[in-house]
Structure 1
Amino acid sequence: MQVILIGLAGALGAVARYMLGHFMTHLLGSNFPYGTLIINVSGSFFIGLVFALTTHHLLSPGLQLILATGFLGGYTTFSTMSWESVQLARGNARLSVLYLGATTLFGLLAVAAGIASGWWL
């Protein structure tokens, strides 16, 4: 049953990723992958929060698997970030480095903020 729930959560995460990415492209254009950046940074925040809440026994390990492996696994996307970085580098290497740096830095800060938020709750 847990495998089915992880799969369903992963499907919901993928749909959420698609919808947010599509919305951000519509809102901000396609010259820079804002959608993927926002998705990966927000996913980093939420995975930090999920693990902190699990550590404090506010979430069960089973729910952690469903949320982190399932939903957030489907929601965040390393492969798309990698592909977009290569595409940016083909036209503007500095923009590609900015994207990779921003994703990494903000992702790490977001995980830390998620953990801190979970400890605060």
Structure 2
Amino acid sequence: MMWLLVALGAAAGAPLRYLVDRAVQVRHASDFPWGTFTVNVTGCLLLGVLTGAVRGGGLGPAAQVWMGTGLCGALTTYSTFSYEALRLVERGRPGLALANVLGATAVGLGAVALGWWLVRGAVG
């Protein structure tokens, strides 16, 4: 039955990704993919919070599957992130592509660590 939890999480995460991406990107007149950056960092923070809560005993494995694999898996998007970096290079913006790749990776890692740390401090 875990597959159903993944499907339910993904059914919420995919449209959420699209809506957040569009809401953020429409507010920026930049080539930088702020929408994808936002959903990926938000997903990292959520996954950090979730992992901290599961490891601290505040949530069970079903929540990890539903929200971690399903929701966060569909909310975040490595394929779009990669495609947008390639598009920036093709448009003659390699510096912006590098800033996107390095920035999203660093901020994403920081967000997952922050989420984990915040919850672990409250739960553990």
With the shorter chain as reference, the TM-score category is over 0.9
Identity of counterpart residues, as a percentage?
31
- Aligned partner of 2:109 in structure 1 is 108
- Aligned partner of 2:97 in structure 1 is 96
Show the 5 A alignment for 1:16-55. 16-29=16-29, 31-55=31-55
* Counterpart secondary structure, 2:26: helix
> In structure 2, what is the Cα distance between the partners aligned to 1:49 and 1:29?
32
> In structure 2, what is the Cα distance between the partners aligned to 1:94 and 1:82?
15
- Aligned partner of 2:62 in structure 1 is 62
Tell me the TM-score normalised to structure 1 length: 0.95
> In structure 2, what is the Cα distance between the partners aligned to 1:109 and 1:73?
18
* Counterpart secondary structure, 1:81: helix
- Aligned partner of 1:10 in structure 2 is 10
> In structure 2, what is the Cα distance between the partners aligned to 1:12 and 1:29?
28
* Counterpart secondary structure, 2:27: helix
Question: What do the CA deviations read for 1:65-97 (whole angstroms, capped 9, x no partner)?
Answer: 110000000000000000000000112101100
Is the 8 Å Cα contact of residues 40 and 76 (structure 2) preserved in structure 1?
yes
RMSD: 1.0
> In structure 2, what is the Cα distance between the partners aligned to 1:82 and 1:60?
32
Shift of 1:6: 1.3
Query: Where does structure 2 lack aligned partners over 5 or more consecutive residues?
Result: none
* Counterpart secondary structure, 1:28: coil
> In structure 2, what is the Cα distance between the partners aligned to 1:83 and 1:115?
29
> In structure 2, what is the Cα distance between the partners aligned to 1:17 and 1:33?
13
> In structure 2, what is the Cα distance between the partners aligned to 1:101 and 1:27?
23
Shift of 1:5: 2.2
* Counterpart secondary structure, 1:32: coil
Aligned residues: 121
* Counterpart secondary structure, 1:52: helix
